[in-house]
Amino acid sequence: MIRKIVVGFVLFCLVLNGGCAVRRLDTVQHAQQRSKSSNELSRWEKVLNLKRGTRIEATAKDGRIIKGKLTEAAPDSISIQDEATARLTKLERDDVRQIRRGKMSSSRSALLGALIGAGAGAGIIAGLASNEDIDITAAAIPAGVGIYAGIGALIGYAVSKGKGKLIYISP
């Protein structure tokens, strides 16, 4: 019986460590993006290939940050519509310092984490329930799944706090 509890605890720790590994991977990817050659990131073609409606964050050379949906990408400019105010901003290519593609929202990441956590929790509890030595009541199953879902939601929310993918830096 003790062995099954230890196995459940180890699986729980692996789920938590997996979230931390995702966070570390995110940090490594950001470092790799920064170390890419400026030649690759200074290609405006990457901006031209973005689909209309893609969420982006453009930083102007004067320090302004414009967040919104891409409405137009031309060889010499981009147009971004702010989702909150519906204000359209046009930036000339020469005025753009960098452009990042938008990231997944925090609530969406938390929901995805909760679903993954609930699935992992259901698998762990089902594995424990299949053991004849451990008596798991019917009320413990949804409670355990809920706990794992909550942990997954927290991990998903924490992972979503990074910046979007860098796709353009002015030369």
CATH class of 35-103+165-169: mainly beta
Mean pLDDT, residues 14-32: 54
**Which distant-in-sequence residues (6+ apart) come within 8 Å of 166 by Cβ?**
33, 34, 41, 98, 99, 100
Among the residues of 43-139, which ranges form H helices? Answer: 45-48, 106-129
Q: In what order do the strands lie in the sheet with 55-60?
A: 88-92, 77-81, 65-74, 55-60, 96-101, 165-169
Backbone angles phi, psi at 62, to 5 degrees: -85, 5
Note whether 98 and 92 are within 8 A (CB). no
Alpha carbon separation from 118 to 15, 35, 108 (Å, rounded) = 11, 37, 15
Q: What is the pLDDT of residues 48-90, one digit of tens each?
A: 999 999 999 999 999 998 889 999 999 999 999 988 788 999 9
Q: What is the pLDDT of residues 115-164, one digit of tens each?
A: 999 888 888 888 877 777 777 777 777 888 889 899 988 988 887 776 77
pLDDT higher than 80, residue 19: no
Alpha carbon separation from 129 to 120, 148, 168 (Å, rounded) = 14, 16, 52
Range(s) within the chain of domains with CATH label 2.30.30.100 = 35-103+165-169
Give the CA dihedral 6, 7, 10, 12, nearest 10 degrees.
Answer: -110
Note whether 148 and 140 are within 8 A (CB). no
